[in-house]
Structure 1
Amino acid sequence: MKNHFVLFDLDGTITDSSEGIINSILYALKKMGKEESDFSRLRSYVGPSLKTTFQNHYFPLEEDSNKAIAYYREYYAKKGIYENRLYSGIYDVLKEIKGNGGIIALATAKPTYFAKIILKHFEIMGCFDVVVGSHLRGTRTQKDEIIFEVLDQLGFPDSREVFMVGDREYDIIGGKHHRLKTIGVNYGYGTEGELFKVRPDYIVKSPFEILDCIKLFTNQ
C-alpha cells in the first residue's frame, strides 16, 4: 500500500459547526449595531476566515472588523464552540485511515487554539498527527499558508501522496496551490456549483466516500 497523507478541513468537513458560528456572528453584529436576517448568507460565512467575513461584508475598516472578531470570540469561547456536532461516519473514516497507516492532519482557518479544544471535546485528537490553524492574533488565515505549515511539519512529503479534503473552494484552491490531490465534500457548507467551479479531483456526498477516493489511490 502506498504511503498517504490526508489533510482535513474542520468546519463543514469533520464537524457541522454552523449553529455555533452563525450564533457567534449574530452576537458580534448585534454588539456592533448591525443585523443580518439572511440565513443563506450567514451559512456562506462558515469556512472563510473571520477577517474575510467581517471586513468584506460588514466592516471594511480594520479597527471595526477587529472589534467584531473580539465580540465573536466572546460568544464563541463560552458557548458557540460547543454548538457543534460530528458528521455521521467521520469518526469511523478517521479510524480507518489511521488503521491503514495513513497520516492525518487538520488544516483549518479556525485558530489552532479553538481547533484543538474541538478535537479534544469530540475525543478525536488522537487521530491527528498534526493540527494547524490560524493564529489568534489574526495572521496565517489563508488556506495555502495553513497547508504550507502542515506540509512543513510533515516534512514536505511527495505531493502525489497527499490529499486535501474540504467543503469550500478555499480548501480546493489551497490544495491545488501545493499540487495535492483534492477531495471536495458536498455535505458541508459549500455549494455543488462552488466545488465544480474549482474542479477538485473528486467530489463526494458522504464521509465514507472519502475512503473510496483514498483507496483508489492507495491500491494502485
Structure 2
Amino acid sequence: MQYILFDLDGTLIDHFTTIHKSVAFAQRKLGLSQSDYSKVRATVGGSLPITLSKLCGEDKVSLAEPLFRKHFEEIIFDDVFTLPGADWLLENLKKRGDRLGVFTNKYAGHTRLVLAHLGLDQWLDVIIGTGDPDCPYRKPDPLFTAHALEQMDCASEEALMIGDSPYDLAAAEAGCIACYLVATGSHNTEQLSEYTVSNYIYKDLHELGEKLFGLELPK
C-alpha cells in the first residue's frame, strides 16, 4: 500500500475561472484595476492571503479576503471541473489498495464541498485543507505537512505527494516526502523544471498514472 497526498487546484481540478471571477469582484469593490485570468492563475497555490497580496496589495488583504470569500461561495460550483485523468487515477489507485488524501491550501470547507460536488470524495480517505480549528497552517509550513502525515497515519518515507506548483514541492520537502509534479496548473513544464528534475515532472495525470504508478491508460 502507498500513501499518496494530492494537491487540489491545478492537480485534480480546475477552479481557476471561479477564482479569477472572485478576485475580480474583490478588486472592483476596492476600486482596484482587475487582473487578467493568466495573472490570477499564476498566483494560485500559495494560499488565499498570498494570492490576494500579490493581486490587491498587501495592505488590502484584510479587506479583499472577505469580499473574495463572499463571491466565491456564491459561485463555487460555477466553472469547476475535474482535470483529465483525475477520476481514472484516483479510482485505480484506490482499487489497488492505496490510501489517498487531498492536501491543499484551499479552505477546508470549500474543499469538501467541491470534492463532493465533483464526486472525487468517494476515492479519498482524508481531506486536509486550511481553516479547520485543529489546522491553522498553510503550505509550506512543516507543521502543515506533519499534520497531513498524521492524518494519513503514515511516516514520511511511506508517503508520496502529487502537486502542480513550487508550493507543493516545498511542502513535501518540509516533511521529507517524495514529490511529483504535473504541468496542469499554475506552472508549465519549463517553469517546474526550475525547481526539480525533469523525471519528477509529468505533462498530466494520465502520463503520471501510467509512468509513475504503472496503470493502464483508459481506452
TM-score (norm 1): 0.88
Q: Tell whether 2:210 aligns with 1:212.
A: yes
Asked whether the 8 Å contact 1:134–1:146 carries over to 2, the reply is no
1:196 to 193, 196, 206: 193
Q: Which runs of 5+ in 2 are unaligned?
A: 215-219
Shift of residue 81, structure 1, vs aligned partner: 4.1
Q: What percent identity do the matched residue pairs reach?
A: 25
Deviations along 1:127-167, whole A, 9 cap, x unmatched? Answer: 11111111179942233443221101122x23232111111
Equivalent in the alignment of 1:182? 179
Shift of residue 6, structure 1, vs aligned partner: 0.8
Task: Output the CA distance in 1 between the equivalents of 2:43 and 2:89.
Answer: 26
1:110 to 101, 106, 112: 106
Please, which moves more after superposition, 189-198 or 16-25? 189-198
Task: Output the CA distance in 2 between the equivalents of 1:213 and 1:178.
Answer: 24
Task: Output the CA distance in 1 between the equivalents of 2:36 and 2:118.
Answer: 30
Q: Tell whether 2:134 aligns with 1:141.
A: no
Secondary structure, in 3 states, of the residue corresponding to 2:122?
A: helix
TM-score (norm 2): 0.88
Task: Output the CA distance in 2 between the equivalents of 1:215 and 1:54.
Answer: 36
Secondary structure, in 3 states, of the residue corresponding to 1:126?
A: helix
Equivalent in the alignment of 1:171? 168
Asked whether the 8 Å contact 1:109–1:146 carries over to 2, the reply is no
Shift of residue 43, structure 1, vs aligned partner: 1.6
Secondary structure, in 3 states, of the residue corresponding to 2:43?
A: coil
Equivalent in the alignment of 2:217? none
Task: Output the CA distance in 1 between the equivalents of 2:2 and 2:41.
Answer: 32
Equivalent in the alignment of 1:55? 53
Task: Output the CA distance in 2 between the equivalents of 1:88 and 1:112.
Answer: 23
Secondary structure, in 3 states, of the residue corresponding to 2:193?
A: helix
| Matching residue's letter, 2:167 | Y
Please, which moves more after superposition, 48-57 or 69-78? 48-57
Q: State the number of aligned residues.
A: 211
Given the superposition, is the C-alpha separation of residues 193 and 214 from structure 1 closer, same or farther in structure 2, using an over 3 Å criterion? closer
Q: Tell whether 2:3 aligns with 1:27.
A: no
Asked whether the 8 Å contact 1:6–1:104 carries over to 2, the reply is yes
Task: Output the CA distance in 2 between the equivalents of 1:38 and 1:88.
Answer: 24
Please, which moves more after superposition, 157-166 or 113-122? 157-166
Q: Which runs of 5+ in 1 are unaligned?
A: none
Residue correspondence of structure 1 range 8-157 to structure 2 within 5 A: 8-61=6-59, 64-135=60-131, 139-144=136-141, 145-155=143-153, 157=154
